[in-house]
A and B are shown apart, each in its own frame.
Chain A
Amino acid sequence: MYKIARKQVLNDNVTRMSIVAPLVASKGKPGQFIIFRVDEFGERIPLTIAGTNKEDGTVDIIFQTVGKATRMLSQKEEGEEILDFVGPLGKPSELEGAKRACVIGGGVGTAIAYPSAVALHEQGTKVDVIVGFRNKDIVILEEDFGKVADNLYMMTDDGSYGEHGFVTKKLEDLLEAGEEYDLVIAIGPVPMMKAVVDLTRPKGIRTLVSLNPIMVDGTGMCGGCRVLIGGKSKFACVDGPEFDGFEVDFEDLTRRNRSYVDEEKARDHACRMELAALELSSKKAE
């Protein structure tokens, strides 16, 4: 069992937790992830390691509530325990040698990008950070990024906070204004990562993206996480989750991630469906 040492609600949908897992804490590096399971009946869910605290042996995670498993986790309180917490999984980010980097996060991808920004900053790389949110109410981690970013650009889709527009618009502006980066890290929804790659490819700027296919074991055992990279099938859990953005087949990724959309929806809305079914049968009876 793994104890929740700290919990902080970042917004209505995003929670930060520190989980006691000394082995993972001693090993975890930026870019790596863990897999948790709340209880015996729960799904196994991957989350990026947002930070490690060697002193008290805890690992930070920042997660968005999107379905049942993340909701169950978000409902756990400090001092409570979860059943599984395994890691660190995946390859650490390859950040060496970067002189000037731009880290781009969209939505909860912001949280996944955070440890890379920290690591870049700590190794002496100058880091610009562009983070985007749908609106003001869901902005997270502004203060945290502020501590490591040389320039922090906050974007909202509706202009209710920071600048109006998508993160890619900001990147485009910066590149046009002559900013020179030798590394771009883009983490967020698949269309966002694809749009970033479309901007950096013509300029040949090394671009890392973090892929989030469906995973089971996280150790190379199931092949469920396979993604097409440079035309070859790779397992994101062991060969990634970060890959060279120029090599990624984004269409393939989008398709495979839809695998369980119907099942997940069915489960999450089971109650509503039951109601609907009742309604239907009563209508039929009429």
Chain B
Amino acid sequence: MAKRNMSPEKVEMPTQDPLVRARNFKEVAHGYTEEMAREEALRCLQCKHKPCMEGCPVNVQIPDFIQLINEGDYIAANQKILETNVLPAVCGRVCPQETQCEELCVRGIKGEPVGIGRLERFVADYFREHSEPAPHDYEKNGRKVAVVGSGPAGLSCAGDLARMGYDVTIFESLPEGGGVLVYGIPEFRLPNDIVKNEINQLSLDGVKLETNTIVGRSITVDELFDEFGFEAVFIGSGAGLPVFLNIPGENSVGVYSANEYLTRSNLMRAYDARYDTPIRQSKCVAVVGGGNVAMDSARTALRLGAEKVYIVYRRSFDEMPARTEEVHHAQEEGVIFNNLTNPTAILHDERGEVVGMTCIRMELGEPDASGRRRPIPVEGSEFTLEVDTVVIAVGTNPNPLIKSTTEGLDVTEWGGIIADEKGATSREGIFAGGDAVTGAATVISAAGAGKVAAAAIDEYLKNKNN
């Protein structure tokens, strides 16, 4: 075996030049070549106690798959990851590795951790580029399970159930499958073709995807059981209801929720002239929030042609929930950060069009319930940002549609479906997972919840049979 690589830094992943990429929708990072991946894999110490695995919500067998890269068997490495994570090409790109697997990597004590995400991405991309999608011939058991929502939770649940032989149908309200992966996360971070490829594999494996079908409107959960013969239902409907700030002027023309802004751009391809989707031609944009959603909105605004894009976030860089890499990329691309700043009102002209946003500076006080230091307004520090567009990215809650049309389904006061650690809800035969249960979280935790629920559904149906 080649010599271990003791460099304190990760092998760099090539990216598009920041000023070029800030004006196009192509993927920012190119991914490792085979040589780079081999070199980075040699940084892994193959620790016996595998600390990194503890940080991964689905326990990807990290040293094992990296060892397979060392051996040059990328296809086997991919299979190894797939044992616990059905979406490696996605997770390799978007997991917050710095707070998960890579945070616990021993190489991170002195220098940078092993680039676990980058390696995962390489392996999955290699597999996709070097194999033809083909159906797995799973033995069918003829029993029907319905999955609501085609985000990572729904996809992973459906994939596992299909593997166990169930006849699975996914119901999705949007015209395309993928959930946030296609309507929220932009093309420059996660190309839609990667998600399409995953869905394609599922359909080869016999999973049916019914798009344009809104559970709670086109069809109810009870009808899925009573009229369509499904024996169990998994709800992975996400947390898609946007939260607004409730400040004056928020209904002005040119104020978007991040969901609307990103949906118009991603799912409905407003940036592509062949599509009829209208989107504002902005010069100066303020994005309110500090998470991935805010970074994606700000970087999308640049790519749609805005000259100045501000992030307005009420805490500091340290508290920012976005992936570190996205914050860096946004800075490199020229997004201007107004941290410790809170919007107080949106100003509009006589036609109702946004002309500015007044803000107040904040300072950090004592930690609050979330453990983050609470921002407090600094008196007399008001100022106005001159902007023509405001994008609100301060969070989302689960949509009440399914709850309000499914009797006996218990939810929390903010609308999250109540489910136990296996995904079982207050109603027999109904399981739930992902953002619909936890509120806005991560791709891998949603995918993990889908997987756990698939096992629980299998157990439930086997017992019910007897």
Could you list which residues of chain A lie within 8 angstroms of chain B, going by C-beta atoms?
23-24, 27, 37, 40-44, 68-69, 83-89, 216-217, 219-224, 226, 228, 233, 238, 252, 255-256, 258-260, 263-264, 267
> Which parts of B311-360 form the interface with A (CB within 8 Å)?
351-352
Residues of B within 8 A of A233 (CB): 244, 246, 250-251
B219 proximal to A (CB < 8 A): yes
- Beyond the given A223-B244, A255-B351, please list 6 additional residue pairs across the A-B interface where CB-CB is below 8 A: A24-B218, A41-B274, A216-B268, A217-B174, A233-B250, A233-B251
For the complex formed, measure the closest distance between the CB of A13 and the CB atoms of chain B, giving whole angstroms.
20
Contact A259 B240 (CB under 8 A): no
A176–B217 Cα gap in the complex (Å)?
42
From B242, B252, B260, name the one whose CB has the most chain A CB atoms within 10 angstroms.
B260
Task: Flag if A84 contacts B256 (CB, 8 Å).
Answer: no
Partner of A222, one of B260, B276, B278: B260
- Closest Cβ of chain B to A173, distance in Å, is 35
Q: Which residue of B217, B240, B251, B280 contacts A221 across the interface (Cβ within 8 Å)?
A: B240
Q: Is B6 close to A, CB under 8 A? A: no
Task: Determine whether the beta carbon of A88 is less than 8 Å from that of B242.
Answer: no
Overall SS of chain B's interface: loop
A224 x B251 contact (CB < 8 A)? no
Chain B residues within 8 Å of A, Cβ to Cβ? 173-175, 211-214, 217-219, 240-242, 244, 246, 250-254, 256-257, 259-260, 263-264, 268, 274-281, 351-352, 399-401
Look across to chain A and name the residue whose beta carbon is closest to the beta carbon of B396.
A221
User: B276–A224 contact, CB under 8 A?
Assistant: no
User: A23-B213, A84-B212, A267-B276 are contacts. A219–B173 as well, Cβ < 8 Å?
Assistant: yes
Contacts of A68 in B (CB 8 A): 276
Does B399 lie within 8 Å of A220, measured CB to CB?
Answer: yes
Q: Which 10 A/B pairs are nearest by Cβ-Cβ distance?
A: A255-B352, A222-B260, A223-B257, A86-B212, A263-B278, A260-B278, A221-B240, A23-B218, A223-B242, A224-B260
- Report how far A263 CA is from B281 CA in the complex, Å: 9
Q: B237 → chain A, closest Cβ, in Å?
A: 10
Distance of B409 from chain A, by nearest CB (Å): 17
In the assembled complex, the CB of A95 is this many whole angstroms from the nearest CB of chain B, namely: 19
The complex places the Cα of A226 from the Cα of B255 at a distance, in Å, of 11
Q: How far is the CA of A220 from the CA of B398 in the complex (A)?
A: 10
Contact B250 A88 (CB under 8 A): no
A221 in contact with B259 (CB, 8 Å):
yes
On whether the beta carbons of A85 and B212 are closer than 8 Å, the reply is yes
A23 shortest CB reach to chain B, Å: 5
With known contacts A252-B251, A255-B253, A221–B214 Cβ distance under 8 A: no
> B337 CB to closest chain A CB, in angstroms?
25
- Are the C-beta atoms of B218 and A220 separated by less than 8 Å? no
Contact between chains at B241 and A89 (CB < 8 Å): no
Which of A86, A226, A238 contacts B401, CB < 8 Å?
A: A238
In the bound assembly, the distance between CA atoms of A103 and B173 in angstroms comes to 32
Q: Assess the A216–B264 pair: CB atoms within 8 A.
A: yes
Do residues A222 and B352 form an inter-chain contact, with CB atoms below 8 A? no
Q: Is the CB of A258 within 8 A of B351?
A: yes
Shortest Cβ distance from residue A46 to the other chain B in the assembled complex, whole angstroms: 14
In the complex, what residues of B have CB within 8 A of residue A263's CB?
278-279, 281
Q: List 25 A-B contacts (CB under 8 A).
A: A23-B213, A23-B219, A37-B175, A41-B276, A43-B278, A84-B175, A84-B211, A85-B212, A86-B173, A86-B175, A87-B214, A88-B217, A89-B214, A219-B240, A220-B240, A221-B242, A221-B399, A222-B263, A226-B244, A228-B251, A255-B252, A258-B351, A260-B278, A263-B278, A267-B276
Name which of B217, B274, B399 has the most chain A CB atoms within 10 A of its CB.
Answer: B217
Within the complex, the shortest CB–CB distance from A135 to chain B, in Å, comes to 31
Q: Is the CB of B253 within 8 A of A220?
A: no
Query: Could you tell me the distance between the alpha carbons of A85 and B212 in the complex, rounded to whole angstroms?
Result: 7
Q: B241 contacts A221, CB within 8 Å?
A: yes
> Considering the chains assembled together, what is the distance between the CA atoms of A24 and B212 in angstroms?
10
B399 pairs with A86, CB closer than 8 A: no
B4 CB, min distance to chain A CBs, angstroms: 49
Nearest neighbor of A84 in chain B, beta-carbon distance: B175
A contact residues around B251 at 8 Å (CB): 226, 228, 233, 252, 255-256
When the two chains form the complex, which single residue of A42, A83, A86, A256 contacts B276, counting CB atoms closer than 8 Å? A42
Which chain B residues lie closer than 8 Å to A83 at the CB level? 175
- Residues from chain B with a CB closer than 8 A to the CB of A238 are 401
For B348, the closest partner residue in chain A by CB is A255
A127 to B219, CA, bound (A): 32
Considering the complex, give the chain A residue whose CB is closest to the CB of B227: A26
Q: Which of A24, A88, A228 has the most CB of B within 10 A?
A: A24
Which of chain B's residues have a CB closer than 8 A to the CB of A228?
A: 251
Whole-angstrom distance between the alpha carbons of A216 and B256 in the complex? 12
Q: Point out the residues of chain B lying under 8 angstroms from A217, CB to CB.
A: 173-174, 263
Q: How far is the CB of A48 from chain B (nearest CB, A)?
A: 15
Cβ contact within 8 Å between B218 and A27: yes
Is there contact, CB below 8 Å, between A256 and B352? yes
Alpha-carbon separation in the docked complex, A86 to B210 (Å): 11
- Residues in A neighbouring B264, C-beta threshold 8 A: 216
Complex CA distance for A233 and B252, rounded to whole angstroms: 12
Q: Are B253's CB and A256's CB within 8 A?
A: yes
Q: Which residue of B lies closest to A35 (CB)?
A: B212
List A contacts of B276 (CB < 8 A). 41-43, 68-69, 267
Residue of B nearest to A86 (CB): B212
Question: B250 and A220: CB pair below 8 A?
Answer: no
Say yes or no: B351 contacts A221, CB within 8 Å: no
CA distance A252 to B348 in the complex (A): 12
Specify which chain A residues have a CB less than 8 angstroms from the CB of B253 in the assembled complex: 255-256, 258-259
Across the interface, which residues of A come within 8 angstroms of B263, CB to CB?
216-217, 221-222
For residue B260, which residues in chain A have a CB less than 8 angstroms away from its CB?
216, 222-224
Chain B residues near A221 (CB-CB < 8 A):
240-242, 259, 263, 399
Question: Which residues on the A side are within 8 Å of B211 (C-beta)?
Answer: 84
From the candidates A86, A89, A216, A258, name the one contacting B213 in the complex (CB within 8 A).
A86
Q: Cβ of B351: which chain A residues have Cβ within 8 Å of it?
A: 255, 258
Which residues on A sit within 8 Å (CB–CB) of B278?
43, 259-260, 263-264, 267
Q: In the complex, are the beta carbons of B175 and A220 less than 8 A apart?
A: no
Rounded to whole angstroms, the CA-CA distance of A101 and B273 in the bound complex is 47
- Asked if A87 contacts B241 (CB within 8 A), the reply is no
In the bound complex, do residue B241 and residue A220 qualify as a contact, i.e. CB atoms below 8 Å apart? Answer: yes
Most A CB atoms within 10 A — which of B254, B256, B259? B259
Name the residue in A37, A87, A223 with the highest tally of chain B Cβ atoms < 10 Å from its Cβ.
Answer: A223
- In Å, the complex CA distance between A116 and B105 comes to 64
Name the residue on A nearest B260 (C-beta): A222
